[in-house]
Structure 1
Amino acid sequence: MTRPVSKDFRHETPADLRAVLDKDEHLRTKWEDLTSLARNEWICWVTSAKKQETREKRFGRLQEEILDGKRRPCCWPGCPHRRESAQKWFDR
């Protein structure tokens, strides 16, 4: 069962990630064990890549690291969209 989405959850799960989660039960279980805030961090980290090549690398790393038990993307300051200065973009 998926945990309820918190107010801090800002990003929707991309279709490519949903497809992988639907196919990999073990990954989906680990993904659902993350907090909604942690899932948001992973989604933002992957989708914030400017180049498709970087996004693909991050997507692969997301799968590998979550299966290894990591709960957040390493060495990333966090979702910039959670900052107050970015809230105006979500309130439109």
Structure 2
Amino acid sequence: MSDAFAHGTVHQAADDLQAALRSAPHILQLWEGLTPLGRNEFICWVDDAKQAKTRARRIARTCEELLEGKRRPCCWPGCIHRTDKAPGKWQQAVLIDGKKS
């Protein structure tokens, strides 16, 4: 068995997310079954958390959503870090403009 981990197209999964996904073979298999863009969305969503408690909740929710058959995080407008396409209007308003002070 290989120790290689399937990351996203832009983001690399941090150690805590990798540990949670590797904690159960079935969850890891579901993760590996996602497209690189799908994995990227989950990683970006987890990384976007501002507090450690929120990050931990999102990591747990990632595992739950995979078990529920979801292929993207629920209620996430998408990664704004991709360079292969421009952010959509909703991403611009919610994720980009919303962060400006």
Q: TM-score normalised by the shorter chain: which range applies?
A: 0.7 to 0.9
Structure 1 ranges of 4+ moved more than 2 A: 20-23, 83-86
2:16 paired with 1:42: no
TM-score for both structures, normalised by structure 1? 0.77
Q: CA RMSD in A?
A: 2.5
3-state SS in 1 of match to 2:81: helix
Structure 1, unaligned runs of 5 or more: 87-92
TM-score for both structures, normalised by structure 2? 0.71
Structure 2, unaligned runs of 5 or more: 88-101
Higher helix share: 1
Give the number of equivalent residue pairs: 83
Cα offset for 1:29?
A: 0.5
Q: Counterpart in 2 of 1:89?
A: none
3-state SS in 1 of match to 2:45: helix
3-state SS in 2 of match to 1:80: coil
